[in-house]
Amino acid sequence: MKIKNLLVTTLAVAAGLTLTACQSDKSEGASTSQEGEAVTLNFGAMGSIDTIPFVIAQENGYFEEEGIKVNLELFNAAKDRDAALQAGQLDGVLADETAIAIYQNSDMDMQITGATNGYWTLVATEQSNIHSLEDLKGKKIGISENTMIEYLADDITTLNGIAAEDFEKVAIPAMPARLEALRNNQIDAAILPAPFNETAIADGAVEIETIHNTDIMISVTAFLNSVIEQYPQAIQGFYNAYNKAVDYINSTDISEYEDAVIKTVGYSEETRGNIILPKFKHNYLPDVEKVQKVFDWATAKGLLTKDITAKDVLNNVATK
């Protein structure tokens, strides 16, 4: 039984988070210089498919059209993004929902204000004889612990009648190392974002399932509640610019902005002319039930020890 097709990665998802200290209630990030000058929002993301609209919004001047300034910082590792957030250097992030759970558990009131169109691909080695999700029974799946990667591994096996004890999760946090383990047949399968999934398939791996961002909310965007309360119009402008970028991407030949795609995601130059992007959606809030499902999983894993529900973290400041 296949899981439902979801509408768009990144992330992303992400390496294990190690937040330990508490963020102060007031962000040190967003700022205004003088009355009448533009608000500056500091936003952190990983280089992934679902980051592309933010990059295009910046390059095409859509943030400025909305009267705001955005410092868009791209990180190579989730732990670096989280350290910057913890240090008060960021106002918002593109992250997965397990990250939001961990932020909340660490007394950082991060509110989910949107969702993106990232996607992931479950790939398997040719030697594994995995041809469908049901074939994952008894196999080794490479994951990063306490992230959406592990959640997805648990979810797709459960949906296909495979108990937790009937497959082995192998923790390999770094994406390049996970890809290398797949190449060397140290694991049978892995859930990878672009461009790692394309590289694995080019090396002979088999694509088993593409996991889009609809039924399972992989990547969301979030801002500190203190920033939302202080600068609601700036947050709205941020997502207006995002929506403009989505319209541009969906209506423009990729050759016009392919350089930005290659640089953002990390595609090799050899992929030029062959990159296929998903049809991006305007910003939207994920369904509360789907977020709660991730929070319930995080609670069962011991990642969320406080009484926090999905309703506590969903904020419609940009979608109402």
**pLDDT tens readout for residues 30-80:** 554 445 678 999 999 998 889 999 999 999 999 999 999 999 999 988 889
User: What pLDDT is stored for residue 8 in this prediction?
Assistant: 31
User: What pLDDT is stored for residue 10 in this prediction?
Assistant: 32
User: What pLDDT is stored for residue 276 in this prediction?
Assistant: 85
Task: List the beta bridge partners of residue 190.
Answer: 123, 142
User: What pLDDT is stored for residue 215 in this prediction?
Assistant: 57
Checking if the pLDDT of 21 tops 90, the result is no
Checking if the pLDDT of 22 tops 50, the result is no
Give tens-digit pLDDT for 287-316. Answer: 899 899 999 999 999 999 999 999 999 999
User: What pLDDT is stored for residue 241 in this prediction?
Assistant: 98
Burial 288-310 (b: 16+ CB within 10 A, else e): eebbebbbebbbeeebbeeebeb
User: What pLDDT is stored for residue 11 in this prediction?
Assistant: 32
User: What pLDDT is stored for residue 15 in this prediction?
Assistant: 35
Checking if the pLDDT of 260 tops 90, the result is yes
Order across the sheet with 189-192: list the strands. Answer: 168-171, 140-143, 189-192, 119-124, 206-212
Residue 24 CB-density burial (10 A; 0-12 exposed, 13-18 middle, 19+ buried)? exposed
Global pTM value: 0.82
Checking if the pLDDT of 261 tops 80, the result is yes
Burial 67-85 (b: 16+ CB within 10 A, else e): ebbbebebbeebbebbbbb
User: Would you say 317 and 235 are in contact if contact means Cβ atoms under 8 Å apart?
Assistant: yes
Tokens coding 209: 């399932």
Place of tokens 């997965």: 96
User: What pLDDT is stored for residue 320 in this prediction?
Assistant: 83
Q: Residue 118 carries which DSSP code? A: -
Q: What is the Cα 306 distance to its own chain's centre?
A: 23
User: What pLDDT is stored for residue 240 in this prediction?
Assistant: 98
Q: How far apart are the first and last CA of the chain?
A: 36
Tokens coding 204: 């002979």
User: Would you say 117 and 278 are in contact if contact means Cβ atoms under 8 Å apart?
Assistant: yes
Give tens-digit pLDDT for 69-124. Answer: 999 999 988 889 999 999 999 999 999 999 999 999 999 999 999 998 878 899 99
User: Would you say 42 and 71 are in contact if contact means Cβ atoms under 8 Å apart?
Assistant: yes
User: What pLDDT is stored for residue 130 in this prediction?
Assistant: 95
User: What pLDDT is stored for residue 217 in this prediction?
Assistant: 62
User: What pLDDT is stored for residue 214 in this prediction?
Assistant: 59
Q: Residue 282 contacts by C-beta under 8 Å, 6 or more apart in sequence?
A: 242, 243, 246
Q: Residue 288 contacts by C-beta under 8 Å, 6 or more apart in sequence?
A: 310, 311, 314
CA proximity to 299, closest of 97, 65, 114? 97
User: What pLDDT is stored for residue 36 in this prediction?
Assistant: 64
Q: What is the mean pLDDT of residues 131-156?
A: 92
Between residues 122 and 6, the one the model is more confident about: 122
Gap between the Cα atoms of 292 and 257, Å rounded: 36
Checking if the pLDDT of 192 tops 50, the result is yes
| Dihedrals phi, psi of 273, to nearest 5 degrees | 90, -10
Burial 123-149 (b: 16+ CB within 10 A, else e): bbbeebebeebebbeebbbbbbebbbb
Checking if the pLDDT of 239 tops 80, the result is yes
Q: Residue 301 carries which DSSP code? A: T
Domains of the chain as residue ranges with CATH? 39-118+217-313 (3.40.190.10), 119-212 (3.40.190.10)
